[in-house]
């Protein structure tokens, strides 16, 4: 019979785990608070420790490096602003709702979202959620734009992806003076108009008389037909 203590199951204290999680959240909240008023280049372990009211040693116990701290903060922010993006998108209204809600979430996490946009590490952290959102949009538009040429469906997907993202939110806020609510509504309306235009263009192209000669300038002909409707 062995007396090897390593073979015994270790006891995990629920209270200790809860306290550890609370300290971790306190530190990440401090990162959010700092980034609401300062660029990511000014975020230091010392500054986070002062903001959180803990020692630098405590931070290093949870996050061995500054990069680990930033990545954890970005992952938490991404989860907060993309939490609804695992829902099934079946209607255009689902896509528009998702865009409006995303802009409100970007506003609520403005500092950390700006850091994600600006820092190379933040861009890397955003790639996986962005790819997931692209996949959802491709699947949704495959049904919503049935009969529309594939290259045009792809263009609508990319336009929607840009308009519903953080970079468009930042541009509308900083250069157009729109807050999250206003920007989200504007972006959603733009997406709706793009989708309606793609459908109308496809319908116009299908309405050519079978015996008619195909016009040389396809885009001009379709625009003329749309204006006549």
**pLDDT tens string 36-56:** 778 888 889 999 999 999 999
Average pLDDT, the chain: 83
Q: Report the 10 Å Cβ neighbour count for 49.
A: 18
- In Å, what is the CA distance from 224 to each residue of 24, 64, 201, 218, 219? 61, 63, 11, 10, 9
| Predicted confidence (pLDDT) per residue in 166-225, tens digit | 999 999 999 999 999 999 999 999 999 999 999 999 998 887 655 455 555 555 545 555
Please indicate whether residue 91 or residue 80 has the higher confidence score (pLDDT): 91
* Same-domain pairing of 35 and 88: no
* Same-domain pairing of 85 and 57: no
* Same-domain pairing of 57 and 87: no
* Same-domain pairing of 115 and 195: yes
Please indicate whether residue 115 or residue 29 has the higher confidence score (pLDDT): 29
Residue 53 inside a domain? The answer is yes
* Same-domain pairing of 205 and 175: yes
Q: Which residues span the domain enclosing 159?
A: 81-228
**What pLDDT is recorded for position 127?**
80
Residue 55 inside a domain? The answer is yes
Contact 191, 99 (CB under 8 A): yes
Residues with Cβ within 8 Å of residue 56, at least 6 apart in sequence: 45, 46, 49
- How far apart are alpha carbons 182 and 199 in whole angstroms? 26
- Report whether pLDDT(18) > 90: no
Q: Report the 10 Å Cβ neighbour count for 166.
A: 22
Q: Which has the closest alpha carbon to 193: 105, 99, 107, 130?
A: 99
Q: Report the 10 Å Cβ neighbour count for 219.
A: 9
- How far apart are alpha carbons 72 and 63 in whole angstroms? 8
The pair of three-digit structure tokens given for residue 226, joined into one six-digit string: 């749309």
């Amino acid at each position: 019979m062995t007396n090897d203590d390593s073979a015994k199951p270790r006891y995990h204290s629920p209270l200790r785990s809860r306290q550890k999680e609370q300290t971790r959240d306190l530190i990440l909240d401090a990162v959010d608070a700092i980034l609401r008023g300062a660029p990511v280049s000014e975020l230091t372990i010392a500054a986070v420790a002062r903001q959180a009211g803990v020692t630098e040693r405590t931070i290093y116990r949870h996050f061995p490096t500054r990069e680990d701290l930033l990545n954890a903060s970005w992952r938490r922010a991404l989860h907060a602003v993309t939490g609804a993006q695992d829902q099934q998108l079946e209607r255009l209204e689902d896509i528009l709702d998702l865009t409006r809600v995303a802009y409100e979430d970007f506003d609520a996490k403005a500092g950390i979202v700006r850091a994600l946009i600006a820092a190379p590490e933040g861009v890397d952290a955003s790639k996986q959620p962005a790819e997931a959102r692209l996949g959802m949009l491709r699947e949704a538009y495959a049904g919503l734009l049935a009969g529309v040429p594939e290259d045009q469906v792809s263009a609508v997907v990319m336009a929607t992806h840009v308009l519903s993202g953080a970079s468009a939110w930042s541009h509308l806020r900083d250069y157009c003076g729109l807050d999250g609510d206003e920007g989200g509504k504007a972006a959603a309306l733009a997406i709706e108009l793009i989708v309606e235009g793609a459908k109308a263009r496809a319908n116009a192209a299908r309405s050519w008389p079978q015996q008619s000669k195909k016009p040389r300038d396809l885009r001009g002909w379709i625009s003329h037909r749309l204006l006549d409707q």
